Amino acid sequence: MQVNKIPIFNFLEGSGKSFIIPVYQRDYAWQKENCEKLWNDLLSLRKSEVKAYFLGSIVIIDAGFQEYSVIDGQQRLTTISLLLLALQNYLKKNKIEERLQDQLSDYLIDRHSQDSSKRIRLKPNKQDKAYFNELFNGTEIEEDSNIVSNYNFFYHQIQKDNYEGSSLLEAFRKLEIVLITLDKGQDDPQLIFESLNSTGVGLNDGDLIRNYILMDLENQEQENFYTNYWLKIEKLTNNNIAEFVRNYLMFKLNISVKQTDRDTYYKFREYTKIKFKNKESILKDLMYFAKIYSYCIQQSSHPNKNINHNLEKLFNLDFKICYPYLLDLLDKFEKKILPEEEIVLVLRLIESYAFRRIIVEGTNQGLNKFFIILAKEINNKLDTQIKYSDTLSSILLSKSANLKFPDNESLISALEIKEVYKFNRKNKNFLFHSLENHNSEYKVDLDDLTIEHIMPQRLTAKDKQKLGENYQEIHKKYLHTIGNLRLTANNSKMGNKGFQEKQKIDSRANVLNLNKGLNEVKEWNEKEIIKRAKNLAEIATKVWIYPVSILQYEQEKEVYDLDENTNFTGKKPKILYIEDKPFQADSWKDILKIICKSLYEKSPTEFKQIISNSELNKYFSLENDSNKIRAKIEFTKNHFVEGNLSANSTISFIIKLCNLVNYDYSNLQIETI
């Protein structure tokens, strides 16, 4: 086995060389976003004085006669070939830079080969080979594979920006690879492949960020930065650097950052290249915001007790999606832009918004994007004459659809019938702890108390008699609602005992705020359950405040994030937003067609595999089997999808499809009328 670090152009050129992708290799799978990253890197290299850029490793077996089997690295090798071919075809079509065309030919074909079938150096597997060979003729092919799609991406980028071929080639010549050449018959290619693609513990985004910052420094400087910055940042973030940096980037860039696909690392690298002059300035900024982040995750307590109390409540509520916004808010406190009372009021508003939605809507899904851009929205509307909290209140009240701030009437109505006993443990405890300790001088710790049903889960004959002839309906409707729940320290002794007996057993619990008045009740029935629920719901409106607006912002359009919990029945779509780009859509069939087309263009090869193999394949057909579906919609040439779906079924289908192609459906929004 030989290992060499060489420029990739040295690897590609040479008389008689050819590179074979073995049939057992997967189809070419790079998507447009991968190519976009490579393209942006090349543009940066054109302007940079950096002499080399590491592209990755390529593993080959020398089969003799200058023929090499590519064991690992076929994705980047194929992509580079598509880029060079796109540039060459662009130059040919425009009849410019003939000398450069010849240079590009050396990397793509063996011009000295007498056998035309062997002239093209790269030989993809059978599935991709036909498309690849066609592209050498300069033929325009409809996007039916990732090979064609990515070639077209590079061609359009070159054409759109009219980049000089020579400068792009100069950037390409800076790309380096680690070339691993195996000796046929001696090295075990499978063992090498498994080692390079180990299923063991790999580097996460935090590891990559650390390496990116520290790796190219001198030893002494590296040691200083690691000790004085990095170790402290790790401690402040509870050793979860990746999640901290993800929130940091969402706050800084006002964009969503995925937890997968190295998205945090790549976006961090690009952001810091532009924003910071040196590595120490990066670390200083990270450490400053890591300290603020530590307050959010309660890794350390905020020095202001009132602020910390409210941060702790948000932490207990597990409302992590607001962290990008909190970084901005607490930064304003650190810089003395906002006073304590404003910060506390804003934190109470955020808590109210979050928990009211849990009570009324049953979820806080779909708020990620809102909290990523909230700080920017507030900052754009701030007026020196208006309090920050008033601006926030007005913005919250202007929201509609699945961003709407539930009002008092909605909260009371929901609490009367919501089965809060079935909430997850964290939310259930948060509800009862907050209600019990509201305006209470002495705070009660719920750890030594339990939540008990007043009307028991199994009715006795006596219970049924007291509830009346509709006892089954009453029991089913109110059993797990807040009106029928109390706090007790003696739940094990209560069992299925009657209401009066429970009162006697747990007289100590009657002093609790939530249980006040229960000892005066003679009979426990539907009327008393409803009465108690209303009383507790009224307290809830004071615990989780509803904002008062002194500003009037125009009510926002009915724009919904894709969420299976949202009921779209009776709603008519108007505009579909894909990554904030609008598309006119007058029906749910239009929505389905546009999204299928967009996902197909993103990765044609992967989409075709879904049509063939996934659980959704019954909803798709090609022209030759279009009778397979009832109401066919052609979303791209000769590709059809089932259009006979309801609004909610359409949304459910789209979410499943996005998951299969690994696309974040939070990038999709629908405006309705």
Task: Decide which of 70 and 325 is more confident.
Answer: 325
H/E stretch holding 334: helix 323-334
**Placement of tokens 């926030």 in the chain:** 392
pLDDT at 607 over 70: yes
Segment among 61-65, 165-169, 507-511 with least mean pLDDT:
507-511
For 354-398, write each residue's pLDDT tens digit: 999 999 988 887 788 899 999 999 999 988 889 999 999 999 999
pLDDT band at 190 (very low <50, low <70, confident <90, very high): low
Distance CA 267, CA 272 (A): 9
pLDDT at 180 over 80: yes
pLDDT at 664: 86
For 137-177, write each residue's pLDDT tens digit: 777 777 678 999 999 999 999 988 766 778 888 999 999 99
Distance CA 657, CA 172 (A): 36
Task: State the average pLDDT over residues 16-23.
Answer: 86
pLDDT at 194 over 70: no
Token pair of 370 as six digits = 């809102």
| Amino acid (one-letter) located at 502 | K
Token pair of 626 as six digits = 């279009």
pLDDT at 549 over 90: no
Name the DSSP letter for residue 443: P
Q: Write the CA distances from 34 to 5, 289, 657, integer angstroms.
A: 23, 30, 20
Q: What does the buried/exposed string (b/e) look like for 316-336 if buried means 16 or more CB atoms within 10 Å of the residue's CB? A: bbebbbbbbbbbbbbbbbeee
Token pair of 37 as six digits = 């990253």
Task: State the average pLDDT over residues 176-200.
Answer: 72
pLDDT at 641: 93
pLDDT at 447 over 90: no
Token pair of 144 as six digits = 């039916």
pTM of the model: 0.77
pLDDT at 492 over 60: no
Task: State the average pLDDT over residues 9-21.
Answer: 89
CB 553 within 8 A of CB 380: no
pLDDT at 588: 96
CB 634 within 8 A of CB 640: yes
Distance CA 287, CA 229 (A): 7
pLDDT band at 489 (very low <50, low <70, confident <90, very high): confident
H/E stretch holding 69: strand 67-72
pLDDT band at 603 (very low <50, low <70, confident <90, very high): confident
The per-residue pLDDT of the chain, averaged, comes to 88
Q: Tell me the CB-side half-sphere exposure of residue 367, using CA atoms within 13 A.
A: 24
pLDDT at 510: 63
pLDDT at 203 over 70: no
Task: State the average pLDDT over residues 641-669.
Answer: 91
pLDDT at 494: 56
Helical segments of 237-278, H only: 241-253, 263-275
CB 244 within 8 A of CB 324: no
Name the DSSP letter for residue 470: T
CB 477 within 8 A of CB 484: no
CB 156 within 8 A of CB 163: no
Cα 267-145-634 angle, rounded to 5 deg: 105
pLDDT band at 504 (very low <50, low <70, confident <90, very high): low
Q: What is the DSSP string of 480-541?
A: TSGGGEEEES-HHHHTT--HHHHHHHTGGGGGSGGGTTGGG-SS--HHHHHHHHHHHHHHHH
pLDDT at 276 over 60: yes
Cα 177-181-183 angle, rounded to 5 deg: 175
For residue 123, the Cα-to-chain-centroid distance in whole angstroms is 36
Distance CA 484, CA 477 (A): 10
Distance CA 234, CA 238 (A): 6
Q: How deeply is 592 buried, as exposed, middle or buried, from its count of CB atoms within 10 A (0-12, 13-18, 19+)?
A: buried
pLDDT at 363: 81
Question: Between helices 32-47 and 263-275, what is the axis angle to 10°?
Answer: 20
Distance CA 564, CA 402 (A): 12
For 99-115, write each residue's pLDDT tens digit: 899 999 999 998 777 77
